[in-house]
Amino acid sequence: MGDTVIISGIGILCFAGWMFLMYLLETPVRRSQKKIENREEELRNSDFKIDYLLPSSPRAAFDDREKKIAFVFSDDTLFYNYCDIKGWSHLWVDKDARKLDNRISFKLKDKDRPLVVVNDLSEDLAEHWMAKLDAILNE
């Protein structure tokens, strides 16, 4: 009986140690992503109506009725009117005729933050969103 208690205790300790190690190994990127997801949920629960969402880091959410864009970062959400966007471009690294590290940069009429770059896009998604941005912002 005593051996069973000791083995059970060791098993519980090993499990707790494993869970603690998994917590410590969780990357800062994943923690940042969770914060962005929480902020996105807060945005959904606000007066901001998300008509279009660019799933990136940071997120770019569009309220077509109010003609506003929200850039959702892990530590802040910035709001701009569509008319505050001076332009946008698709940036990538060319490797073996493939577009890697795809990003879309937004040039803004903001002295404090003239550029917002959204990352984590596939080539297809970036190209799709370039066309979609033209339709949304030039309406």
What was the pLDDT predicted at 38?
78
Which pTM does this prediction carry? 0.74
Q: Which residue has the higher pLDDT, 43 or 121?
A: 121
Residue 72: phi, psi to the nearest 5?
A: -100, 105
Residue span of the structural domain in which 129 resides:
2-137
Please list, in sequence order, all residues whose beta carbon lies within 8 angstroms of the beta carbon of residue 121, skipping any fewer than 6 positions away. Answer: 56, 102, 103, 104, 129
Count of domains forming the chain: 1
Provide mean pLDDT across the span 32-46.
80
pLDDT for 22 equals: 65
User: Domain containing 22 — which CATH number?
Assistant: 2.30.29
